[in-house]
Amino acid sequence: MQILLLSRNPKLYSSRRLLEAAKERGHEARAVDYLRCYMSITSSKPDVIYQGKSLAEVDAVIPRIGASQTFYGTAAVRQFEMAKVYSLNESQAITRSRDKLRSLQILSRRGIGLPITGFANSTKDTDGLIEMVGGAPLVVKLTEGTQGIGVVLCETKKAAESVIEAFRGLDANFLVQQFVKEAGGSDVRAFIVGGKVVAAMQRNAAPGEFRSNLHRGGTAEKVKLTPEERATAVGAAKAMGLNVCGVDLLRSNSGPVVMEVNSSPGLEGIETATGLDVAGKIIEFIENNARPGRTKDRVGS
């Protein structure tokens, strides 16, 4: 099988592991920079071209699309889909996962546990927004962002008002969210492959930090999920339409709540913490599911 990894940096741990796992299982695998791909958009023979050569004959693509390049990256994935190449995660699923507001609305409609979240346009509604999520402390986060960027903990109402006013002054879209104090600066990352949890870790924030992202100095350890946490993670992945993703959960007094569903989850933290071959699980899923034309760019929520 010919597998193409869409990645801007093949030297990153996740990219290297996926390429290694594919080659270990007897496949031809290579990485291309999706920003260097250009597209022939025709009704007869849609194509994706890289350095003058067609890529449309590969059997499967693994999208590793950076958050700042979602528009062009998903356009490239969509073009592979038009050429009937199997994509591990579909373009629309990646796009919807990158919009935090849309993601939460979809999860809410499916009855997935969530922290109380508010969204508004006018600063005149700030008081009502703050009250709706239970008051301070609360979290203000940009609707687009990754690795904890654009996420602010506001410990007082005045601080919340200042951050909301600043974000609105920048014409940035943001969410106001309940702060789950009982989580104690920890969250759980459930790694989903093909509708199953294949690995899970607990991430703990660094001292003085409330964000548990490993890029922010957090630490990770293997964790066993409860049946409710497992069902919540699987349900979130299914709702988003993602075959592979990381579902970030907080352990609240009312049960597990989903903070985010990541369509390009990193492998280094989860493989190091659990000792599991997660990259191999991903390649195995592709082996069992990659068929010409099986992935379609569907119009839907």
Residues 240 and 175 in one domain: no
Residues 194 and 103 in one domain: yes
Convert the pLDDT of each residue in 78-124 to its tens digit.
999 999 999 999 999 999 999 888 999 999 999 999 999 999 877 77
* Mean pLDDT of all residues in 52-70: 94
Residue 299 has pLDDT above 50, yes or no: no
Dig out the tokens for 177 from the structure.
Answer: 């969210």
Confidence at 4, pLDDT banded by 50, 70, 90: very high
Instruction: Measure the CA–CA gap between 263 and 70, rounded to whole angstroms.
Output: 11
Dig out the tokens for 20 from the structure.
Answer: 């290694």
* Mean pLDDT of all residues in 66-72: 92
Instruction: Measure the CA–CA gap between 123 and 104, rounded to whole angstroms.
Output: 22
Residue 288 lies in a domain: no
pLDDT at 15: 97
The residue behind tokens 């969210």 is: 177
Convert the pLDDT of each residue in 150-170 to its tens digit.
788 899 999 998 988 888 888
pLDDT at 288: 95
Convert the pLDDT of each residue in 238-269 to its tens digit.
999 999 999 999 999 989 999 999 999 999 99
Q: Which of 144, 179, 214 is the last residue of a domain?
A: 179
Residues 19 and 143 in one domain: no
Residue 284 lies in a domain: no
**Domain hosting residue 16, numbered range:** 2-89
Residues 148 and 227 in one domain: no
Residues 45 and 163 in one domain: no
Dig out the tokens for 104 from the structure.
Answer: 């939460």
Residues 11 and 83 in one domain: yes
Residue 49 lies in a domain: yes
Residues 263 and 220 in one domain: yes
Residues 25 and 82 in one domain: yes
**What single DSSP character describes residue 300?**
-
Q: What angle do CA 56, 58, 64 make, to 5 degrees?
A: 95
Q: Strands 244-252, 255-262: parallel, antiparallel or unpaired by DSSP?
A: antiparallel
Confidence at 145, pLDDT banded by 50, 70, 90: low
- Counting the structural domains of the chain, the total is 3
Dig out the tokens for 30 from the structure.
Answer: 């290579």
Residues 28 and 77 in one domain: yes
Residues 132 and 248 in one domain: no
Residues 109 and 122 in one domain: no
Residue 283 lies in a domain: no
pLDDT at 294: 64
